[in-house]
Amino acid sequence: MKTAPNSNPPGESKLIRAQGTYLDDNELKSVISYLREKGEPEFHPELIQLGKQNISADGPRDELFDQAVDIVLQSERGSVSLLQRRLTIGYSRASRLIEEMAACGIVGEYKGSQAREVLVTSEEWEALKEQEAARIRSAALEEGVPDMIYDDDM
Protein backbone atom coordinates (compact mmCIF):
# COMPACT_ATOMS: atom_id res chain seq x y z
CA MET A 1 0.00 0.00 0.00
CA LYS A 2 1.41 3.32 -1.07
CA THR A 3 0.86 6.39 1.14
CA ALA A 4 1.06 10.05 0.26
CA PRO A 5 4.34 11.81 1.09
CA ASN A 6 4.54 13.11 4.68
CA SER A 7 1.58 11.03 5.81
CA ASN A 8 1.33 8.04 8.07
CA PRO A 9 -0.33 4.71 7.44
CA PRO A 10 -3.77 4.32 9.05
CA GLY A 11 -3.54 3.51 12.75
CA GLU A 12 -0.13 5.10 13.28
CA SER A 13 -0.31 8.00 15.72
CA LYS A 14 3.02 9.68 15.04
CA LEU A 15 2.51 13.43 14.68
CA ILE A 16 3.60 15.10 11.49
CA ARG A 17 3.84 18.73 10.61
CA ALA A 18 0.92 19.81 8.44
CA GLN A 19 0.17 23.40 7.49
CA GLY A 20 1.01 26.19 9.88
CA THR A 21 3.83 26.71 12.29
CA TYR A 22 4.64 24.15 14.93
CA LEU A 23 6.13 25.29 18.23
CA ASP A 24 7.20 22.79 20.83
CA ASP A 25 6.82 23.64 24.52
CA ASN A 26 10.38 24.94 24.91
CA GLU A 27 10.05 27.28 21.93
CA LEU A 28 6.72 28.57 23.24
CA LYS A 29 8.14 29.20 26.73
CA SER A 30 11.06 31.04 25.16
CA VAL A 31 8.75 33.33 23.16
CA ILE A 32 6.60 34.06 26.23
CA SER A 33 9.67 34.87 28.35
CA TYR A 34 10.95 37.22 25.66
CA LEU A 35 7.61 39.05 25.45
CA ARG A 36 7.41 39.39 29.24
CA GLU A 37 10.86 40.98 29.29
CA LYS A 38 9.78 43.56 26.70
CA GLY A 39 6.93 44.95 28.81
CA GLU A 40 3.37 44.76 29.99
CA PRO A 41 0.49 44.19 27.57
CA GLU A 42 -1.46 47.25 26.42
CA PHE A 43 -5.20 46.82 26.07
CA HIS A 44 -7.63 49.11 24.28
CA PRO A 45 -10.04 50.51 26.91
CA GLU A 46 -13.08 50.04 24.67
CA LEU A 47 -12.33 46.33 24.34
CA ILE A 48 -11.95 45.93 28.09
CA GLN A 49 -15.35 47.58 28.61
CA LEU A 50 -17.07 45.04 26.34
CA GLY A 51 -16.73 42.34 28.96
CA LYS A 52 -18.04 44.51 31.79
CA GLN A 53 -21.79 44.89 31.53
CA ASN A 54 -23.29 46.43 34.61
CA ILE A 55 -26.78 45.17 35.17
CA SER A 56 -28.56 46.78 38.07
CA ALA A 57 -31.99 46.44 39.59
CA ASP A 58 -32.60 50.18 39.06
CA GLY A 59 -31.69 50.44 35.38
CA PRO A 60 -33.99 50.17 32.40
CA ARG A 61 -35.57 46.75 32.07
CA ASP A 62 -36.05 44.58 29.04
CA GLU A 63 -39.64 44.71 27.77
CA LEU A 64 -39.86 40.92 28.25
CA PHE A 65 -38.64 41.08 31.87
CA ASP A 66 -42.02 40.60 33.59
CA GLN A 67 -42.98 37.79 31.22
CA ALA A 68 -39.60 36.12 31.77
CA VAL A 69 -39.99 36.35 35.55
CA ASP A 70 -43.43 34.74 35.31
CA ILE A 71 -41.94 31.85 33.30
CA VAL A 72 -39.12 31.37 35.80
CA LEU A 73 -41.53 31.44 38.75
CA GLN A 74 -43.88 28.93 37.08
CA SER A 75 -41.07 26.51 36.25
CA GLU A 76 -39.25 27.15 39.56
CA ARG A 77 -35.88 27.29 37.81
CA GLY A 78 -33.89 30.17 36.36
CA SER A 79 -32.68 28.76 33.08
CA VAL A 80 -31.39 30.67 30.05
CA SER A 81 -32.37 27.83 27.71
CA LEU A 82 -35.90 27.77 29.14
CA LEU A 83 -36.31 31.48 28.38
CA GLN A 84 -34.89 30.97 24.90
CA ARG A 85 -37.46 28.30 24.13
CA ARG A 86 -40.50 29.89 25.78
CA LEU A 87 -39.89 33.47 24.60
CA THR A 88 -38.27 32.50 21.27
CA ILE A 89 -35.29 34.77 21.87
CA GLY A 90 -31.55 34.37 21.46
CA TYR A 91 -29.00 33.31 24.06
CA SER A 92 -27.67 36.82 24.72
CA ARG A 93 -31.06 38.32 25.51
CA ALA A 94 -32.13 35.34 27.64
CA SER A 95 -28.85 35.55 29.54
CA ARG A 96 -29.32 39.29 30.16
CA LEU A 97 -32.83 38.63 31.46
CA ILE A 98 -31.48 36.05 33.93
CA GLU A 99 -28.74 38.51 35.01
CA GLU A 100 -31.38 41.21 35.56
CA MET A 101 -33.35 38.77 37.69
CA ALA A 102 -30.23 38.00 39.73
CA ALA A 103 -29.63 41.75 40.25
CA CYS A 104 -33.22 42.07 41.51
CA GLY A 105 -32.86 39.09 43.86
CA ILE A 106 -35.33 36.90 42.00
CA VAL A 107 -32.87 34.13 41.14
CA GLY A 108 -29.65 33.05 42.82
CA GLU A 109 -26.08 33.24 41.65
CA TYR A 110 -24.58 31.48 38.64
CA LYS A 111 -23.93 27.77 39.27
CA GLY A 112 -22.28 26.57 36.08
CA SER A 113 -24.52 24.58 33.78
CA GLN A 114 -27.24 24.16 36.41
CA ALA A 115 -30.37 26.28 36.44
CA ARG A 116 -30.34 29.09 38.98
CA GLU A 117 -32.30 28.75 42.19
CA VAL A 118 -35.52 30.79 42.35
CA LEU A 119 -35.44 32.92 45.51
CA VAL A 120 -38.95 34.47 45.54
CA THR A 121 -42.51 33.20 45.27
CA SER A 122 -45.17 34.50 42.90
CA GLU A 123 -46.77 36.39 45.78
CA GLU A 124 -43.46 38.05 46.71
CA TRP A 125 -42.94 38.99 43.05
CA GLU A 126 -46.38 40.64 42.88
CA ALA A 127 -45.58 42.57 46.08
CA LEU A 128 -42.23 43.69 44.61
CA LYS A 129 -43.99 44.91 41.45
CA GLU A 130 -46.50 46.87 43.54
CA GLN A 131 -43.68 48.45 45.57
CA GLU A 132 -41.87 49.42 42.36
CA ALA A 133 -45.04 50.93 40.88
CA ALA A 134 -45.61 52.93 44.09
CA ARG A 135 -41.99 54.14 44.04
CA ILE A 136 -42.28 55.25 40.41
CA ARG A 137 -45.60 57.00 41.11
CA SER A 138 -44.15 58.78 44.14
CA ALA A 139 -41.10 59.95 42.17
CA ALA A 140 -43.31 61.17 39.32
CA LEU A 141 -45.58 63.08 41.71
CA GLU A 142 -42.54 64.77 43.25
CA GLU A 143 -41.55 65.91 39.76
CA GLY A 144 -44.99 67.44 39.21
CA VAL A 145 -46.65 64.79 37.03
CA PRO A 146 -50.45 65.08 37.51
CA ASP A 147 -51.91 62.41 39.79
CA MET A 148 -54.74 61.68 37.35
CA ILE A 149 -52.27 59.88 35.09
CA TYR A 150 -52.02 57.22 37.79
CA ASP A 151 -55.75 57.13 38.53
CA ASP A 152 -56.81 53.47 38.46
CA ASP A 153 -60.47 54.38 37.85
CA MET A 154 -59.84 55.61 34.33
Longest alpha-carbon distance in the chain: 91
pLDDT of residue 39: 81
Q: What is the C-alpha separation between 75 and 107, in angstroms, rounded?
A: 12
Compute the C-alpha angle 47/49/96, nearest 5°. 115
For the ranges 3-7, 8-12, 20-24, the lowest mean pLDDT is seen at 3-7
Q: What is the C-alpha separation between 129 and 150, in angstroms, rounded?
A: 15
With 0-12 / 13-18 / 19 or more C-beta atoms within 10 angstroms meaning exposed / middle / buried, residue 95 is middle
Please tell me which residue, 2 or 34, carries the higher pLDDT value. Answer: 34
Q: How confident is the model at residue 154 (pLDDT cuts 50, 70, 90)?
A: very low
**pLDDT tens, position by position, 87-131:** 999 999 999 999 999 888 899 888 888 889 999 999 988 888 888
pLDDT of residue 140: 79
Q: Taking a C-beta distance cutoff of 8 angstroms, is the pair 104, 116 a contact?
A: no
Residues in the chain: 154
**pLDDT tens, position by position, 26-70:** 998 998 889 888 887 777 776 655 444 455 556 678 899 999 999
How far, CA to CA in Å, does 115 sit from each of 76, 78, 85? 9, 5, 14
Q: What is the C-alpha separation between 115 and 22, in angstroms, rounded?
A: 41
Q: Is the pLDDT reported for residue 25 higher than 60? A: yes
pLDDT of residue 91: 93
Q: Which of 104, 108, 112, 55 lies closest to 77 in space, CA to CA?
A: 108
pLDDT of residue 51: 45
Model's pTM, two decimal places?
A: 0.56
pLDDT of residue 57: 58
Q: What is the C-alpha separation between 108 and 117, in angstroms, rounded?
A: 5
